[in-house]
Amino acid sequence: MMLLLPACALFGGKRENPDQMTVEQLYSQARTALHRSNYGGAEKLYERLIARFPFGPYTEQSQLELAYAQYKDDKADDAYSTINRFIKTYPAARHIDYAYYLRGLINFNRSGGMLVQLFAQDRSRRDQGYAVQSFDDFSQLLQRYPNSKYVPDARQRMIWLRNGLAQFELNIAEYYLRRKVYVAALDRAQYIIEHYQQAPQTGDALAVMVKAYRALGETTLANDSLGVLKLNYPDHPYLKDPSGWPSRPAWFWKLIPFMGGG
């Protein structure tokens, strides 16, 4: 009986046939399910509404809320497909800025998001594809709707993603440095400096360049990089102990080939 009570309450004491409801009734039932965190039930009702009433304001809003329900129900692929369809179908929708924001959130969670910090995992060792896509999604929000109320949160998430992507590149650059593949190490370090200038890993990237250039006999380039490092990061560990930097435990280097660096 306890299991039946939510269904009875949801449908007004008896289970109504969605095929016999008006568009207003269907939308109301779907919203009720969504607010009660019954995401699976909300999805079915929104999908039925969209199928029966393919046009109109209820359908437009239902597609947006369907994407949110799928997102909350951990159906990332479905949610991403739905929100992309919404953006394509309703480019001038009232809540189009939220659609771009939600699209970024979907990929942010697929990249690991804040859960990585919660469980003390190194997100820089995860697949970076979703992180790159999420960064691009949030970038589109900032470019298209700079005054949106979702911009401040999106910007903070972009910083988080940027730092993770920079660390991913740095891990591989250091791995190449350790393996004496100096040109590859330089490529990764230069990529960090060119694409993630504000990331805290920029100092480490400069240190990689100094060591790699010196190993290659490029004294002038090494001194130039060292000068930039001293000017911008006067307390960097490399300046105190060049031979001991970077210092990583042995197990760390064994993981790098699985990150795409070996």
Given the structure tokens 């795409």, which residue do they identify? 260
Which of 100, 112, 176, 109 is closest to 144 using CA atoms?
100
Place of tokens 């400069």: 206
pLDDT digits (tens, 9 = 90+) for 204-231: 999 999 999 999 999 999 999 999 999 9
Tokens, residue 162: 């940027």
At 118, is the pLDDT very low, low, confident or very high (cuts 50, 70, 90)?
A: very low
Work out the average pLDDT over 57-76.
96
What average pLDDT score do residues 174-192 get? 95
CA pair distance 42, 27, nearest whole angstrom: 9
Whether the pLDDT of residue 188 is over 70: the answer is yes
Burial class (CB in 10 A: 0-12, 13-18, 19+), 113: buried
Provide the pLDDT for residue 158.
Answer: 95
Residue 246 banded pLDDT, cuts 50, 70, 90: confident
Q: Domain extents for the chain?
A: 1-92
Q: Using 50, 70 and 90 to split pLDDT, how confident is the model at 6? A: very low
Architecture of domain 1-92: Alpha Horseshoe (1.25)
User: Residue 116: is its pLDDT beyond 90?
Assistant: no
Question: What is each CA distance from 28 to 25, 34, 51, 58, 216, in whole angstroms?
Answer: 5, 10, 16, 10, 69
What residue spans of 129-181 are helical by DSSP H?
129-144, 151-178
pLDDT in tens, 11-22: 444 567 878 889
User: pTM surpassing 0.75?
Assistant: yes
Over range 176-182, report the average pLDDT. Answer: 93
The predicted structure's pLDDT at residue 21: 87
* Count, residues in the chain: 262
**In the chain, what's the furthest Cα-to-Cα distance?**
82
Digit-coded pLDDT (tens) for 20-44: 889 999 999 999 999 999 999 999 9
Distance CA 174, CA 34 (A): 47
**Looking at the predicted structure, is the pLDDT value of residue 125 above 50?**
no
Say if residues 65 and 98 touch (Cβ distance below 8 Å).
Answer: no
- Residue 155, judged by CB atoms within 10 A of its CB (0-12, 13-18, 19+), counts as middle
- What span, in angstroms and rounded, lies between the C-alpha atoms of 182 and 79? 43
Q: What is the per-residue pLDDT for 197?
A: 86
Across the range 167-181, mean pLDDT stands at 93
pLDDT of residue 9: 44
Looking at per-residue pLDDT, the higher value among 248 and 15 belongs to 248
Confidence of residue 1 (pLDDT cuts 50, 70, 90): very low
* pLDDT confidence of residue 58: 95
Contact 192, 198 (CB under 8 A): no
Look at 244 and 199; give whichever has higher pLDDT.
Answer: 199
